[in-house]
Chains A and B, each alone.
Chain A
Amino acid sequence: MRVERKDLLGIENLTRNEIEIILDTAETMKEISERAIRKVPYLRGKTVVNLFFEPSTRTLASFALAEKRLSADSFNLSGSSSSALKGETLLDTVRNLEAMKIDFVVIRHAMSGAAYFIAERLEASVINAGDGTHEHPTQALLDLLSLKERLGNIKDKKVLIVGDILHSRVARSNIWAFKKMGAKVSLCGPPTLMPYKIENMGVEVSYNLDEAIQDMDVIYVLRIQKERQRGGLLPSLREYIELYGITLERFENAKDDVVIMHPGPINRGIEIDPRVADGTNSIILDQVTNGVAVRMAILYLLSGGKSGEVSEA
């Protein structure tokens, strides 16, 4: 089965069927990374630009490896996110790149909608690697794959997303993703970091983590930016940890087989106790491993590949 679209811009507009095709393809892609020679020719002759206007370690490395393992020609460009200050607009930058004949732009940008903006104006396929506080679809897809591997099935599972929902593109993409796969999603965090009317996404919202954590199947912990204190959103990090940190004590009150997830990078000792992050309930490193497979699957499917044909190559 194919994914009939030019771009991957967000989870909100994906169908459940499309998500399943991507996850199925990613499962078969995973095996390639286990081989002695980790390379297949699916994207041979295709050119991919990783255009990162915000710093990234995991996502950029993961895309770069995915592209190389599919034999694409790829390179990374980084830049300042403020096109007005930079002198050259984002549109000019991508039009120049397209003039050099490219097939894919993987873009990360500080502004919501940046990926949509260039996708509408380019022939090349655009993959959103995170736009502002809007979406981070590849993260949500790798999270689904990781959770599926651990739990077998996501349907009816209770997922709790904890932390700074307001500034999190991961939260938005993951809410759509978990919901589309039939999970029950709840959010917990300080009200000052909860976006207006987020419950309209079909999620439960609470402010008491000790209550919210009980009988959850999954706890998805978000990174808390230390700067949030300045904007008047938090009185102190100390109080945040006391109220919303996944401490060892809280973890022990959760279900025995609760799955712990985190998109990285982790602020150890702040949003999560290191012993929880590194414990057996955690699938944080599986998420990273699956990032490569999911991104391989997306590149392959957007270039016209069919799921189910991968293993034959």
Chain B
Amino acid sequence: MEKSQKHKYVIKNGRIIDPIQGLDEKTDILIEGEKIKGLGTFSKKDGEIIDVKGLIVCPGFIDMHTHLREPGREDEETIETGTKAAAKGGFTGIAAMPNTEPIIDNSGMVRFVRETAERNGYVDVFPIGAVTKGQKGEELSEMHDMVKAGCKGFSDDGYPIANSRIMRKALEYSKIVDKVIIVHEEDPALCEGGQMNEDFNSTRLGLRGMPAIAESIMISRDAAILDFIGGRLHIAHLSTRESLEVVRASKKKGLPITAEVTPHHFSLDSSCLATFDSNLKMKPPLRTKEDVEALKKGLKEGIIDAIATDHAPHALFEKEMEFGSAPFGIIGLETALGIVCTELLHTGMLSLKEIIEKMSVNPAKILGIGKRSLKKGEEAYITVFDPEKKWTVNVDDFVSKSSNSPYGGWKLKGCAVITIVKGKIVYKEGEFF
């Protein structure tokens, strides 16, 4: 955009919540071009008025765990449709996991994702590179080269790094680039053939179980490696009480460890599987009611730093199968905020400020992509949302290419209204720009 043509917006009458500035007040924001020009009282002389009376205005949400399926499975999701779903969900940026076909394990692939996102994307895409070549868990990928190409972190997500020596080397090598290693924690031998959490429900339904300890054992191992050798570790989709305790103890020790939880792991549990609905099949699996309660507490206490969707699109024909044949994963970008408000805000579990920290401030910090704040001079990444808006999830209304969500028919309270990416309105009340 030319300097002389810089567009100006006045986001007027909103309740501004900016945890970094410690701000929670009713005021206006002036956006000029890509940046925030200032906070205060502004009029239409200053810029185009966008009235957001009664709404929350906060630093833009970041989903640090999304699967975009491009390249390889563009029938399930593309960078364009995935970022569109993100914009609708109030996310101004998403971290794209590398388990595409082919896998994002070299700088050329990172560039492909970044450039496709720049061309077709509605929101920022932060490419995550594979820790190991082909996500095979055998040889480290070229982390330095990928970071040069724009990679923001590393993960073999979808798979655990089973080999302890490789895990150690990955953490060691990542110190060169100072990027986080995001781990999918699952002891493969304990989970072999598993379909759901191992508990009374798996026994009742005759589905092979994946025990909770398969996750916490691996987190314990990696926390020990982290303590021994350094680096930065982020636990993807933490799902059990035991895991939470390991992270708690590691944080207490001062280790550079962070963790995220998905909306489905604090809103659903394994008893929901009685109907064998494959939209309830994901990894890690839905755990017990006790785990759900523990995760909510872990969020409150700050043991869990971030809320991330693990948006995993799958074609209907692949999901619509007998439970054992269906792939793992559900989508989440368009329902996340609604679930968060319904399950955490309106129940009094988390405050708006805490939610904004976990969906914006902390993910940005963990990925090292600059501060998410509404301070004068910052890039204008803004989410405007209505925590009181009631709506019913209709999977046919999703803009994602896939509809594998267990939330169809759920009545939620809270949704995004406007999404602003670098000063540009990309989503506003059902419309995309």
CA distance A116 to B198 in the complex (A): 21
Let me know if B324 and A200 touch, CB within 8 A: no
List A residues 162-176 near B (Cβ within 8 Å).
Answer: 169, 172
Decide if A90 is an interface residue (CB 8 Å cutoff): yes
CA distance A114 to B276 in the complex (A): 8
Stretch in contact with the other chain, from B65-73, B86-94, B204-212:
B204-212
Let me know if A83 and B200 touch, CB within 8 A: no
Inter-chain contacts of B275 with A (CB < 8 A): 116, 120
Let me know if B203 and A195 touch, CB within 8 A: yes
List B residues 54-89 near A (Cβ within 8 Å).
Answer: none
List B residues 170-205 near A (Cβ within 8 Å).
Answer: 195, 198-200, 202-205
Decide if B351 is an interface residue (CB 8 Å cutoff): no
A91-B320, A109-B322, A112-B323 given; A135·B203 CB < 8 A: no
A113-B276, A196-B198, A197-B199 given; A83·B321 CB < 8 A: yes
Let me know if B320 and A131 touch, CB within 8 A: no
Decide if B228 is an interface residue (CB 8 Å cutoff): no
Inter-chain contacts of A113 with B (CB < 8 A): 205, 207, 276, 322-324
Let me know if B206 and A169 touch, CB within 8 A: yes
Let me know if A197 and B207 touch, CB within 8 A: no
Let me know if A134 and B321 touch, CB within 8 A: no
Inter-chain contacts of A89 with B (CB < 8 A): 317, 320-321
- Which of B199, B200, B205, B317 has its CB near the most chain A CB atoms (within 10 A)? B205
Which residue of B200, B207, B322 contacts A117 across the interface (Cβ within 8 Å)?
A: B322
Decide if A133 is an interface residue (CB 8 Å cutoff): yes
Let me know if A135 and B206 touch, CB within 8 A: yes
Let me know if A134 and B322 touch, CB within 8 A: no
A89-B317, A116-B275, A117-B276 given; A111·B205 CB < 8 A: no
Decide if B325 is an interface residue (CB 8 Å cutoff): yes
Inter-chain contacts of B320 with A (CB < 8 A): 89, 91
Decide if A77 is an interface residue (CB 8 Å cutoff): no
Interface string of A133-177 (1 = CB under 8 A from B): 111000000000000000000000000000000000100100000
Let me know if B203 and A83 touch, CB within 8 A: no
Number of A-B residue pairs, CB cutoff 8 Å, is 74
Let me know if A114 and B322 touch, CB within 8 A: yes
Interface string of B205-222 (1 = CB under 8 A from A): 111110100000000000
Decide if A1 is an interface residue (CB 8 Å cutoff): no
Let me know if B206 and A131 touch, CB within 8 A: yes
Inter-chain contacts of A97 with B (CB < 8 A): none
Let me know if B206 and A83 touch, CB within 8 A: no
What is the total number of residues of chain A having a CB less than 8 Å from a CB of chain B? 29
Inter-chain contacts of A195 with B (CB < 8 A): 202-203
Let me know if A83 and B325 touch, CB within 8 A: yes
Decide if A264 is an interface residue (CB 8 Å cutoff): no
CA distance A195 to B322 in the complex (A): 22
A89-B317, A109-B322 given; A132·B202 CB < 8 A: no
Let me know if A172 and B204 touch, CB within 8 A: yes
CA distance A169 to B195 in the complex (A): 16
Let me know if B206 and A172 touch, CB within 8 A: yes
Inter-chain contacts of B276 with A (CB < 8 A): 112-113, 116-117
Decide if A82 is an interface residue (CB 8 Å cutoff): yes
Inter-chain contacts of B207 with A (CB < 8 A): 112-113, 132-134
List B residues 315-339 near A (Cβ within 8 Å).
Answer: 317, 320-325
Which residue of B206, B211, B321 contacts A133 across the interface (Cβ within 8 Å)?
A: B206
Inter-chain contacts of B199 with A (CB < 8 A): 196-197
Inter-chain contacts of A116 with B (CB < 8 A): 275-276
Inter-chain contacts of A110 with B (CB < 8 A): 324
A113-B276, A116-B275, A117-B276 given; A82·B325 CB < 8 A: yes
CA distance A82 to B325 in the complex (A): 8
CA distance A201 to B203 in the complex (A): 9
Closest Cβ of chain B: how far from A7's Cβ, in Å?
13
Closest Cβ of chain A: how far from B358's Cβ, in Å?
32
CA distance A113 to B324 in the complex (A): 8
CA distance A134 to B322 in the complex (A): 13
Query: B323's closest neighbor in chain A, by CB?
Result: A113
Q: Which residues of A contact B (CB under 8 A)?
A: 12, 82-84, 89-91, 109-114, 116-117, 120, 131-135, 169, 172, 195-198, 200-201
User: In the complex, given contacts A195-B202, A196-B198, what are 13 additional A-B residue pairs having Cβ atoms less than 8 angstroms apart?
Assistant: A12-B204, A83-B321, A84-B325, A91-B321, A109-B322, A113-B323, A116-B275, A117-B321, A131-B206, A132-B206, A132-B207, A196-B202, A196-B209
Residue pairs across A and B with Cβ atoms less than 8 A apart, 11 shown, are A84-B325, A112-B195, A112-B276, A113-B205, A113-B322, A114-B323, A132-B324, A196-B209, A196-B211, A197-B199, A200-B200
